[in-house]
Amino acid sequence: MKITVAGEKKEYADGTTVAQLIVAEDVETPQYVSVSVNDEFVQTDDFDTTELKDGDEVEFLYFMGGGAFALGETR
C-alpha cells in the first residue's frame, strides 16, 4: 500500500499498524509522539491495533511545554 508519512509518499505492507510504522520510521522518542492519520489523532493505546490503509496520510507530532518565545524580540 502507498501512504504519505510526514509529507513523503512511501510503500508499506498491507496491514501495517501505527506501532509498526513508528518502529519502521525510527521515530525519535516514540513515547512522546502523537500520531495523526488523515488529520485524526490516534490514541496511544490504539497504536498496536490501528491498521493503516492505502492512501492514508500520517504525521508524527511532538508537543513541547514551556513559555512563549518570539524570534527577533529583545527585552
pTM above 0.85, yes or no: no
Averaged pLDDT in 10-residue chunks for the chain of 75 residues: 97 98 94 95 97 98 66 52
Q: Which overall architecture, per CATH, does domain 2-62 show?
A: Roll (3.10)
Q: Residue 72: what pLDDT?
A: 55
Q: Residue 67: what pLDDT?
A: 55
Taking a C-beta distance cutoff of 8 angstroms, is the pair 11, 64 a contact? no
Mention every residue, 6+ apart, whose C-beta is less than 8 A from residue 12.
1, 2, 3, 21, 24, 52
Q: Residue 29: what pLDDT?
A: 87
